[in-house]
Amino acid sequence: MSHANISIFVPHKGCPNDCSFCNQRAISGQTVSATAIDVEKAVLTALEYNIDPKNTEIAFFGGSFTAIEREYMCSLLTAAKHFLDTHSFAGIRVSTRPDAIDKDVLETLKNYGVTAIELGAQSMDDDVLLANRRGHTSDDVRRASALIKEYGFQLGLQMMTGLYKSDFQKDMQTAREIIKLQPNTVRIYPTVVLKNTHLGSLYDKGEYVAPTADESVPLCAELLQMFENEGIRVIKLGLHSSETVESDMLGGGYHPAFRELCEGYIYLQKILEKLGGKDENCTYTIYVRNKDLSKAKGQQKRNEKALKNQGFSCIIKGKENLERYEIEVVESK
């Protein structure tokens, strides 16, 4: 059974910075902070839908959980821990800033049953962090990551691509630095420019050009493979689908099925590698594993169209007993 989260957002609470890209109302779809009662309602609602607690975490998102007022934080954790004790949930996951982690915080989280901590690293380039008003350094990420692992928590790291003052090489270097920290999980977010943000102002003045979703795909597809090749799970690729994001978005790398675009791109590149040097006058049947057939064809069959535009006549079909991204090519006379 797949893993799931019961997500509770704690927007802006405790955050000492106003990062260039941040508009929590648009990202989370809410401005009112969660209460202990909200936690209880969210979990009880999930239980009514017969979720499997043993494969579900109670997750506090918003990016600055350990920077909120301590009594408030503990009230939320108390409500969550009750369900860990009574229903055997997989754990509690929190998202926070690298500069809001110390030994005292980690002792508190451990006492309340927190099992995973995600850090919003965003970039490992200090110039990019400064330009985007993050208020922390790459060394803060390294220090916090080491402490989190020392205390036995699962470590998650989040990175953004296409930030103001970043570029392809800096984003690739961020990924390499994150790999050195050996997190359990990673989230990759192409930058989305939202209204009422510093990036939005720069975008409107023409001082920042945000990569589009299509422009972000090749880089993010490469990052996906880099992390997975190192045994690091990419648990999110692209900002989650949201009507609020779509209405507040000015530009950038948003697509409601961005991960599928990236996985489709990987399939296209691997198919083209297999077809390299083959006769364009022949027809080929491309076999991929059954569950990835739609990805191999691409969103709106874009991969089939791309192959045709490159002169190849191909039919893409599913087949049993193939691995992910494994390609078989059969020539049809």
- Residue 333's pLDDT is what? 63
- Does residue 291 lie within any of the structural domains? yes
Looking at the fold, whether 237 and 176 belong to one and the same domain comes out as yes
- Does residue 84 lie within any of the structural domains? yes
Looking at the fold, whether 251 and 280 belong to one and the same domain comes out as no
Q: What is the dihedral of CA 178, 168, 263, 276, to 10 degrees?
A: -120
- Does residue 114 lie within any of the structural domains? yes
Looking at the fold, whether 204 and 289 belong to one and the same domain comes out as no
Looking at the fold, whether 196 and 286 belong to one and the same domain comes out as no
Q: What pTM was computed for the model?
A: 0.92
Task: State the Cα–Cα distance between residues 161 and 311, nearest whole angstrom.
Answer: 33
Looking at the fold, whether 307 and 203 belong to one and the same domain comes out as no
Domain count within the chain:
2
- Does residue 52 lie within any of the structural domains? yes
- Residue 297's pLDDT is what? 97
Looking at the fold, whether 160 and 210 belong to one and the same domain comes out as yes
β-partners of residue 331 are 284
Q: Which domain range does residue 157 map to? A: 4-256
Looking at the fold, whether 170 and 309 belong to one and the same domain comes out as no
* Placement of tokens 């922390």 in the chain: 136
| Spatial contact of 252 and 190, defined as CB atoms under 8 Å apart | yes
- Residue 17's pLDDT is what? 65
- Residue 307's pLDDT is what? 95
DSSP reduced 3-state for 190: strand
Looking at the fold, whether 180 and 71 belong to one and the same domain comes out as yes
Strands (E), 173-222: 185-190, 192-194
Instruction: Name the strand (E) or helix (H) holding 308.
Output: helix 302-309
- Does residue 41 lie within any of the structural domains? yes
Looking at the fold, whether 68 and 185 belong to one and the same domain comes out as yes
pLDDT tens, residue order, the chain (333 aa): 467 899 999 876 556 667 888 875 545 445 578 999 999 999 999 999 999 999 999 999 987 899 999 999 999 999 999 999 999 999 999 999 999 999 999 999 999 999 999 999 999 999 999 999 999 999 999 999 999 999 999 999 999 999 999 999 999 999 999 999 999 999 999 999 999 899 999 999 999 999 999 999 999 999 999 999 999 999 999 998 877 888 899 999 999 999 999 999 999 999 999 998 888 778 999 999 999 999 999 999 999 999 999 999 999 999 999 999 999 999 976
- Does residue 224 lie within any of the structural domains? yes
Looking at the fold, whether 251 and 300 belong to one and the same domain comes out as no
Paired sense of beta strands 233-237 and 185-190, if any: parallel
